[in-house]
Amino acid sequence: MKKKNLDDFAYESIIKLILENHFKPGDFLLETKLAATLEISRTPVRQALSQLVAEGFLDKKRKKGCLIPSPTPQDARHVFYAREHIEGLTAASSARYAADKDIEYLYDLIEKEKNVANPGTQEGTMEYLSINESFHLGIARFSRNKYLEQYCRHSFWRSHTYIIFFESDYIGLASGEQRIGQKQHVEIVKAIENRNEEKAGNLMRQHVQTTFEKLFVRV
């Protein structure tokens, strides 16, 4: 595997390990252990960790490795505020640039959301979150703007760590909140399909606001 591919593999794999709850806020990520887990050398792992620190996803602690930051009320508000405005822009841009096949892909994801087995359980919630990630990052990709896509991916993943942290609370809300989320997803895709940039952006901002208000209002 080429070095660039190894760097990308390490970067994406570390984020996946975090989002799949193998690590939690407050945990240290060590090069040696990650390299062994991913069965690659330490060099791409070091590069991936440095990139995640530069992006604000991890904190660097001298001699101890990289730390997954613990959630704080202020950080949660900042993350979701950033998501709200960045994803509003990605949805508006997607309304202009998304191809018909892209819109079909988004509708297919909505159908998968509806068919998630055992909603309200841990397994069902994690499946829903995975589909939800594909939906949001898909819209970012269809914006055809690499900078918006990058910023959207970062803010989405960061907000996702909060959802994982409050997983027990989220599972309790899941079945009802998932239905609300699905309805909002349909409205967003319809606006994109109709090439209504302003409406798509406004609906996406409202959608992200709903996620924060329902799940994090207590912080």
Q: Mind listing the pLDDT tens digit for each residue in 108-119? A: 999 998 888 776
Q: Phi and psi at residue 40, in whole multiples of 5°?
A: -135, 175
At CA 202, angle to CA 136 and CA 197, rounded to 5? 85
pLDDT at 47 over 70: yes
At CA 24, angle to CA 23 and CA 27, rounded to 5? 80
Greater model confidence, 64 or 192: 192
User: Which tokens in the block code for residue 95?
Assistant: 């309304």
User: Which tokens in the block code for residue 23?
Assistant: 């690590």
- pLDDT given for residue 2 in this prediction: 54
The answer to whether residues 125 and 119 touch, using CB atoms and an 8 Å cutoff, is: yes
pLDDT at 91 over 70: yes
- pLDDT given for residue 189 in this prediction: 98
Which of 3.30.1280.10, 3.75.10.20, 1.20.58.2030, 1.10.10.10 would CATH assign to domain 3-67? Answer: 1.10.10.10
pLDDT at 88 over 90: yes
Tell me, yes or no, if the pTM score tops 0.85: no
11-27 confidence digits (pLDDT tens): 889 988 887 778 888 89
For the chain, give every domain's residue range: 3-67, 73-216
Contacting residues for 72 by C-beta, under 8 A, at least 6 apart: 219
Q: pLDDT above 70 covers what percent of the chain?
A: 86
Per-residue buried b or exposed e for 55-74, using 16+ beta carbons within 10 Å of the residue's own CB:
bebbeeeeeebbbbeebeee
- Sheet strand arrangement including 65-67: 28-29, 65-67, 59-61
Task: Choose the most confident range, by mean pLDDT, from 67-71, 139-143, 159-163.
Answer: 139-143
Q: Do domains 3-67 and 73-216 have the same CATH topology?
A: no
- pLDDT given for residue 119 in this prediction: 66
Q: Phi and psi at residue 60, in whole multiples of 5°?
A: -95, 125
* Closest-CA residue to 175 (of 133, 134, 114): 114
Average pLDDT over residues 181-210: 96
Contacting residues for 213 by C-beta, under 8 A, at least 6 apart: none
Greater model confidence, 177 or 154: 154
CA 38/CA 9 separation, integer angstroms: 9
pLDDT band at 41 (very low <50, low <70, confident <90, very high): very high
The least confident of 27-31, 96-100, 179-183, 207-211 is 179-183
Statement: 73-216 belongs to CATH 1.20.120.530: yes
* Closest-CA residue to 155 (of 208, 97, 218): 208
